[in-house]
A = this chain, B = another copy of it.
Amino acid sequence: MPKLPARERATPRATSARPQPAAGSRGKRAAVRTAPKSRNAKSAATHAAIIDAALDEFAARGFAATRLDDVARRAGVAKGTIYVHFRDKETLFEELVRTALGPLLRGLEETPVADVPLRAFVEGLADHFVKEILGTRRKHIVRLIVTEGARFPSLAQIYYREVIKRAMVVVRGAVERAIARGEIEGDTLQRFPQLFVAPGILALVWDMLFARFEPLDAGALMRAQVDLVFAAIGKRRK
């Protein structure tokens, strides 16, 4: 009956070691595994429906302006049901964003790294970014990171640790091997692997804000950047 002091509710609690309780115990995949119990399956479906609806709402309105009421309506459940699945609004938001990590990471991990020429590797990356992120609802996740990340330090940290840093390691590795193989010269790309994504981020932001005035072809932009980069530092054999 007594409510929390409120102030404590409203502030993003970056501190609490949210234990991700009984991890994956009701993730979509869990449902697939435990086919027998119809109750679990239905519950998992509900869980997924909420996350799904939440993505739409959060993406459209931002964290603060999103009403759980709307999420519930969109998910086709009662408001209270959300609290059966998530501790609170913040947890829902964070879990939603965190849930989307997997798919993003998979792209990285599955990209063949070994002895692919750097250019091919980088083109693969750009392609993946455009097709698998900008071209799908995953785009909203990246949007949310960009627009809400500053208010959710724990999310920013997770993304830094799980996505950004890893991606930079992978790209730097590829760059180093390319240098070793004599494909490129200079240290620009080792220092700033971000140069490969910069156009992608710009395209994302552009899309959020200016698409209706002037569309921007993210793929073409990223390809142009790759062209520039390799025209600049690719060793001109021949």
Residues of A at the B interface (CB closer than 8 Å) are 1, 10, 61-65, 143, 145-151, 156-157, 159-161, 164-165, 188, 191-192, 194-195, 197-199, 201-202, 205-206, 208-210, 213-214, 216, 220-221, 224-225, 227-229, 231-233
Residues of B close to A210: CB separation below 8 A: 156, 160, 164
**Residue in contact with A160 in the complex, picked from B143, B161, B205, B214, CB distance below 8 Å:** B214
Quote the shortest CB–CB distance from A223 to chain B (angstroms): 10
Quote the shortest CB–CB distance from A229 to chain B (angstroms): 6
Q: Given contacts A206-B194, A213-B160, A214-B160, are A188 and B150 in contact (CB under 8 A)? A: no
Provide the bound-state CA to CA distance between A213 and B2, in Å: 36
Q: Which of A10, A145, A225 has the most CB of B within 10 A?
A: A225
**Residue in contact with A201 in the complex, picked from B165, B191, B202, B228, CB distance below 8 Å:** B202
Q: Given contacts A147-B150, A149-B209, are A191 and B224 in contact (CB under 8 A)? A: yes
A209 and B160 contacting across the interface, CB-CB below 8 Å: yes
**Residue in contact with A202 in the complex, picked from B165, B197, B233, CB distance below 8 Å:** B197
Residues of B close to A202: CB separation below 8 A: 194, 197-198, 201-202
Residues of B close to A146: CB separation below 8 A: 146-147, 205, 208-209
CB<8 Å pairs between A and B, sample of 28: A62-B64, A65-B151, A146-B209, A147-B150, A149-B209, A156-B209, A156-B210, A161-B213, A191-B220, A192-B220, A192-B221, A192-B224, A194-B199, A194-B202, A194-B206, A194-B221, A195-B221, A195-B225, A198-B199, A198-B201, A198-B221, A201-B201, A201-B205, A202-B202, A228-B228, A228-B233, A231-B233, A232-B232
